[in-house]
C-alpha cells in the first residue's frame, strides 16, 4: 500500500531511517481503539454526506470483522509493513474495500487520531488499575480484621519506637493506596477530553459533529483548542507520576516484606510461590518477587523522567518526538498491573510468626514514651520527664532489664514521684489503649476505620 504521506517524495525512506521511525511494534496496543475511532469518525462523515449509507455499512461491517480478528489474535503485526497502527488500519480496510477505505482519513490527521486513541486506552487502563488497587486493599482489610488484636513493633529510623496494632500498621498502606485511587480518578477526568476533530493542528475543514464523536467514543468533554489538543501530554505525565507513586508505595511494602521475612527478623514468611532458591546455596528462600517490585519501581520513575525530558522545550504543535511517549506509558502501566497482582497474592499468602513478634516487643524499650507520659501526669514537665526517662533507660540497659521489669524502688531512686501505678502504664496493651484519638492505634479507633472500609467495599 502507498504510504499515507508518499506523494511529495521521489525516494523511499532509507532502511535505517525506516527502522528508526516505524512504531507499529509499540502502538499496535492501540489497534482496537483505532478501529473504534474510525467507526465513530465514519458516522460523523456519514452525517455530512462524505459517506453514503451503503459505504458506511460496508465500513462498519469490515471494522467489526477486524475487531473480531484482533480479539482472536489473528492480526499479523509482526510481518505488517506499515509505519504505524493508523496506516495498518487504513491498509487493511483499503485491501478489502478499495477506494472506500481511503475515505476514512477525510478531515483527520494522525496527530489528533493518536492522542484520541491513547486517551481511550488510558481511561480503560486507569479503570483496571483502580480495580487492582481495590483488590489489594481488600486483602489488607481482611488481614487487619483477622489480626485486630496483634500488637506489633512501631518503628522510626528502623529503630524500635512504640507498640502499635498490626492492623493499624497495615492500614497505613491502605491509606497510601486510597490516595493513589484519588489521583487516578483525577487523571481520568483530564484524559476524558476528546481531541478528535483537531486534525493536524488547525482544526478540520469539515463540519464534523464533534459532540457526537465524543459521545460515541465515551468522552465527556471536548478539547477547546486544536493546537493544544494535538500537543498536550500533560495527562500522560500525570499518569506516569501516578504510576511511579503507586510503585513507590508497593516498593515500600516490598521492602518491609523482604526485611521482616529474613530469618534475622522472622516476623513474616512468604509463600513458596512468590520466592525462589539459590543455584549454589540450598538453604535459601529468596524474596525475589518483592525484590523485583522494588526494582521495577526504578523503571517507572525513569519513565516519568523520560517523558518530562522529552517534552521540555518542545515547540508547538505536534512533533515526531511525541511518538516516544507511548513507550514510557505502556511499560509503566504493565509494570504497575503486574506488581499490584503479585503484591495482592503475596499478602494473601503471608504467614505471621507471632512468637517472634512477641519476643521483639521486649527489645528496644518500646514503653519508654509511656514512662515519660506517666511522669508528665505526675506533674513533671515533659522535657524533664524525657531526661529522667532516658536515665532510667540507661540504668535498665546496664542492668540488662526491660523498663517494666524494674522494681518500684529502682524507679523511685530516680523519680520519687513514681508510684505503684507505674506498672499499669508500662504495659503493651495499655500503651495501645491510651492512643484513643482519631487516627491513633487504639483498638476502637482501628475498628472504626475497619468498619468504614467495609462499608466502602460494600458500596463499590
Residue with cell 528462600: 285
Residue with cell 525513569: 302
Catalytic pick among 57, 220, 278, 359: 278
Q: Is residue 278 flagged as an active site residue?
A: yes
Catalytic pick among 53, 157, 279, 407: 157
Question: Angle, nearest 10°, between helix axes 368-377 and 382-398?
Answer: 140
Secondary structure letter of residue 13 according to DSSP: P
Q: How is residue 3 written as a grid cell?
A: 504510504
Q: Is residue 262 flagged as an active site residue?
A: no
Q: Which residues are catalytic?
A: 157, 278
Amino acid at each position: 500500500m502507498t504510504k499515507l504521506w508518499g506523494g511529495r517524495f521521489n525516494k523511499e525512506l532509507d532502511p535505517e531511517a525506516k527502522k528508526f521511525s516505524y512504531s507499529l511494534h509499540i502502538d499496535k496496543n492501540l489497534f482496537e481503539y483505532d478501529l473504534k475511532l474510525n467507526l465513530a469518525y465514519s458516522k460523523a462523515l456519514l452525517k455530512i454526506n462524505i459517506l453514503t449509507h451503503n459505504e458506511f455499512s460496508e465500513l462498519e461491517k469490515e471494522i467489526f470483522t477486524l475487531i473480531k480478528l484482533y480479539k482472536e489474535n489473528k492480526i499479523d503485526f509482526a510481518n505488517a509493513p506499515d509505519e504505524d497502527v493508523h496506516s495498518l488500519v487504513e491498509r487493511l480496510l483499503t485491501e478489502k474495500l478499495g477506494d472506500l477505505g481511503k475515505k476514512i482519513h477525510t478531515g483527520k490527521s494522525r496527530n489528533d487520531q493518536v492522542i484520541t486513541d491513547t486517551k481511550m486506552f488510558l481511561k480503560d487502563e486507569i479503570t483496571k488499575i483502580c480495580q487492582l488497587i481495590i483488590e489489594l486493599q481488600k486483602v489488607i482489610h481482611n488481614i487487619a480484621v483477622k489480626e485486630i488484636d496483634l500488637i506489633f513493633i512501631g518503628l522510626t529510623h528502623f529503630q524500635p519506637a512504640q507498640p502499635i496494632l498490626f492492623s493499624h500498621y497495615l492500614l497505613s498502606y491502605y491509606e497510601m493506596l486510597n490516595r493513589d485511587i484519588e489521583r487516578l480518578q483525577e487523571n481520568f477526568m483530564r484524559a476524558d477530553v476528546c481531541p478528535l476533530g483537531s486534525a493536524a493542528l488547525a482544526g478540520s475543514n469539515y463540519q464534523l459533529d464533534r459532540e457526537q464523536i465524543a459521545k460515541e467514543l465515551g468522552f465527556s468533554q471536548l478539547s477547546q483548542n486544536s493546537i493544544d489538543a494535538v500537543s498536550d501530554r500533560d495527562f500522560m505525565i500525570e499518569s506516569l507520576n501516578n504510576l511511579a507513586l503507586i510503585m513507590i508505595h508497593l516498593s515500600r511494602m516490598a521492602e518491609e516484606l523482604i526485611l521482616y521475612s529474613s530469618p534475622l527478623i522472622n516476623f513474616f514468611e512468604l509463600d513458596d510461590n512468590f520466592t525462589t532458591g539459590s543455584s549454589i546455596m540450598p538453604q535459601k528462600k529468596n524474596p525475589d518477587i518483592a525484590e523485583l517490585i522494588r526494582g521495577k519501581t526504578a523503571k517507572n520513575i525513569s519513565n516519568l523522567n523520560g517523558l518530562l525530558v522529552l517534552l521540555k522545550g518542545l515547540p508547538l504543535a505536534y512533533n515526531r518526538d511525541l511518538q516516544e511517549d507511548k513507550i514510557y506509558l505502556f511499560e509503566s502501566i504493565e509494570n504497575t498491573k503486574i506488581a499490584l497482582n503479585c503484591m495482592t497474592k503475596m499478602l494473601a499468602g503471608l504467614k505471621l510468626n507471632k512468637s517472634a513478634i512477641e519476643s521483639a516487643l521486649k527489645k528496644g524499650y518500646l514503653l519508654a514514651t509511656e514512662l515519660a507520659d506517666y511522669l508528665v501526669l505526675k506533674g513533671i514537665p515533659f522535657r524533664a520527664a524525657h531526661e529522667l526517662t532516658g536515665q532510667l533507660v540507661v540504668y535498665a540497659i546496664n542492668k540488662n532489664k526491660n523498663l517494666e521489669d524494674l522494681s518500684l524502688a529502682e524507679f523511685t531512686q530516680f523519680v520519687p514521684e513514681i508510684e505503684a501505678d507505674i506498672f499499669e502504664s508500662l504495659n503493651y496493651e495499655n500503651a495501645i489503649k491510651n492512643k484513643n484519638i482519631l487516627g491513633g492505634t487504639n483498638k476502637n479507633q482501628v475498628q472504626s476505620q475497619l468498619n468504614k472500609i467495609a462499608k466502602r467495599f460494600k458500596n463499590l
